[in-house]
Amino acid sequence: MATIATSQSAMRSGAESTRFFTVMACIMSLSIIAGFSVQLGFGRSSFDAPWPYHLHGIIFMGWVGLYLAQHVLIGAGRHIMHASLGRAAYLAIPAMLVTGTYIMVVVAQRTGGPFFFHKSEFLWSNIMVLWCFGALAWWALKRRRYTGWHRRLMLCAMAILTGPGLGRLLPAPLMIPNSWLIITCMTFIWPVIGMIADLRSRGRVHPAYLWGLGAYAVTFAVSMALAYSPIGIAVTEWVVAGTPGAARPMEPFLPDGFSI
């Protein structure tokens, strides 16, 4: 009887855990979609952009769809389809790293990045945390046989990608000169929510969160140190030299006549 009760308890715990990660996947995906949709609705962004923007958007939104679909499939018990579809991640992650790095350089050269970010922090930190996403997501794939590690590392990786969505929902111009710092720290909330859920359901935090969030936080701190270092600023100036991006100030600023 005790064995049966223990088995039933484990099954309930697994179902509740799967439900939690599915809900988190939906909320994180929605935060990204909402951020871009709001800016599009207010006319602050449009589809009238060079091709690298569209390629970047298709690949990254494809990842959001893949991430969400994987949780829906596993929640519905479609394990074989989940495993088959998951193979697409081995192609998606490298594609995201290449196109993501490229679009950061394109934006820096074309406009110098959003005016409410320091030009160097936009270039350095964006690229470095993107590669942190790639490392965490790839690690999660390698740990796919260990569900606890796999789903938590993927959550930490996905948290990084919510930055652009949250940044478009928050009043970034009003947070100058700390817009980038505040927006990035806001993305830490997702793994923290996961830790709290672990404490409530398991009585302890799974080490995947400590490694995942720790790697993200350290990468972010190093990226900021590099961005503001003489070498970092020199590299940023070299990247934008001779392009329209070189004309804007290195520091964040409010354009003349700007209003919310």
Q: How far apart are the first and last CA of the chain?
A: 64
Q: How much is the pLDDT for 151?
A: 96
Distance between CA 220 and CA 222 in Å, rounded? 5
Q: Is the pTM of this model over 0.85?
A: yes
Q: How large is the average pLDDT for residues 207-228? A: 98
Domain span at residue 135?
Answer: 14-246
Is residue 5 one of the residues assigned to a domain?
A: no
The dihedral of CA 235, 95, 72, 5: what is its sign?
A: negative
Asked if residue 235 has pLDDT above 50, the reply is yes
Is residue 251 one of the residues assigned to a domain?
A: no
Q: How large is the average pLDDT for residues 49-78? A: 93
Q: HSE-up of 242 (CA within 13 Å, CB side)?
A: 2
Question: Are the beta carbons of 111 and 248 closer than 8 angstroms?
Answer: yes
Q: How much is the pLDDT for 259?
A: 64
DSSP structure class, residue 200? H
Is residue 8 one of the residues assigned to a domain?
A: no
Is residue 177 one of the residues assigned to a domain?
A: yes
Q: How large is the average pLDDT for residues 237-245? A: 97
Model confidence band, residue 41 (pLDDT cutoffs 50, 70, 90): confident
Is residue 6 one of the residues assigned to a domain?
A: no
Model confidence band, residue 48 (pLDDT cutoffs 50, 70, 90): confident
Is residue 256 one of the residues assigned to a domain?
A: no
Q: How much is the pLDDT for 210?
A: 97
Is residue 99 one of the residues assigned to a domain?
A: yes
Model confidence band, residue 49 (pLDDT cutoffs 50, 70, 90): confident
Q: How large is the average pLDDT for residues 224-240? A: 98
Distance between CA 111 and CA 247 in Å, rounded? 8
Q: How much is the pLDDT for 16?
A: 53
Domain count, the chain: 1
